[in-house]
């Protein structure tokens, strides 16, 4: 019975997440139906990122009522029980970019520079504070409340954390497809090799999010901080042109270290978090 409830909940969630986000992102893949300026308007990009959060709240309310919504909101609003998970969420993205800068300085003779940190090529007029707040509380919470706060615990109820992360990556990747029509996104100019690399990085990211989610006792906020910090560090307008490939390499290494250290069962030293229904 619990498995059936999980499948019903997940079905509702994925349908809602896709419908809400894809409706908001419609100006990107159906530009002829909207004013020309909407095709390159970043507002729709960031508004669409609330889709997984809204889908999680709707699906939880339908399936689990007020008690389920309270549990989800608790996961979104609290940092969890692990101090090191919080520190990892804050520090790992900075360490990765620092190491990438050092590698690039050695290999490519690029100077180490953090000029451009906290600036966005998509919205260059933003202050550092606004850029950080958008990435943590709009991008991070908007996505992680759905993918990790709602979907991951239900998937982990019937499979290992590793299998859950792989399966969730598939649904997560499909959700992104309208951004491949958005000219200001990094997806727009990807070739087949770029897409393959992106899918692999998404999988490694899913594993790392599961690691932090389970290690923190189910804290969406910890995952949102990590997601936001990764975006801040990885999409900031740094002058160094080689960082992306080194960032990807280091994320890959970290992902394999997590799998090797904690194992596929829980991807954590703690038991994986499952939904209570």
Q: What own/partner pairs with CB < 8 Å and gap ≥ 24 does 248-253 have? A: 248/197, 248/201, 250/96, 250/99, 250/100, 251/96, 251/201, 251/204, 251/205, 251/208, 252/200, 252/201, 252/204
Given this model, what pLDDT does residue 113 score? 84
* pLDDT tens digit sequence for 54-93: 999 999 999 889 988 998 998 899 887 778 888 999 999 9
Taking residues 20-28, what's their average pLDDT? 98
Query: Could you tell me the sign of the dihedral formed by the alpha carbons of 261, 264, 267, 269, in that order?
Result: negative
- Asked if residue 1 has pLDDT above 60, the reply is no
CA distance linking residue 199 with residue 195, whole number of Å: 6
**Residue 38 · residue 31 · CB < 8 Å:** yes
Considering only residues 2 and 115, tell me which one the structure prediction assigns the higher pLDDT: 115
Considering only residues 261 and 115, tell me which one the structure prediction assigns the higher pLDDT: 261
User: Per-domain residue ranges for the chain?
Assistant: 2-262
* pLDDT tens digit sequence for 125-181: 788 888 889 999 999 999 999 999 999 999 999 899 999 999 999 999 999 999 999
pLDDT band at 20 (very low <50, low <70, confident <90, very high): very high
């Amino acid at each position: 019975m619990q498995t059936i409830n999980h499948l019903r909940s997940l079905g509702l969630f994925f349908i809602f997440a896709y419908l809400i986000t894809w409706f908001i992102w419609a100006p990107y893949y159906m530009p002829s139906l909207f004013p020309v300026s909407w095709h390159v308007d970043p507002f729709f990009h960031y508004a669409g990122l609330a889709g997984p959060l809204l889908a999680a709240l709707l699906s939880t309310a339908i399936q689990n009522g007020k008690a389920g919504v309270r549990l989800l909101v608790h996961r979104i609003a609290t940092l969890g029980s692990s101090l090191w998970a919080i520190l990892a969420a804050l520090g790992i993205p900075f360490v990765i970019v620092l190491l990438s800068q050092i590698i690039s300085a050695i290999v490519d003779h690029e100077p180490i520079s953090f000029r451009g940190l906290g600036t966005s090529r998509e919205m260059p007029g933003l202050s550092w504070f606004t850029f950080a707040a958008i990435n943590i509380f709009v991008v991070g919470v908007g996505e992680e409340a759905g993918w990790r706060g709602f979907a991951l615990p239900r998937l982990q109820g019937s499979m290992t954390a590793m299998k859950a992360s792989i399966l969730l990556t598939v649904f997560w990747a499909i959700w992104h497809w309208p951004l491949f029509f958005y000219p200001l996104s990094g997806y727009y100019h990807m070739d087949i090799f770029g897409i393959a690399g992106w899918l692999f990085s998404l999988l490694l990211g899913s594993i790392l999010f599961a690691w932090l989610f389970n290690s923190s006792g189910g804290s969406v906020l910890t995952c949102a901080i990590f997601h936001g910090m990764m975006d801040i560090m990885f999409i900031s307008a740094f002058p160094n042109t080689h960082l992306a490939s080194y960032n990807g390499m280091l994320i890959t290494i970290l992902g394999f270290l997590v799998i090797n250290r904690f194992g596929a069962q829980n991807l954590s030293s703690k038991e994986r978090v499952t939904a209570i229904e």
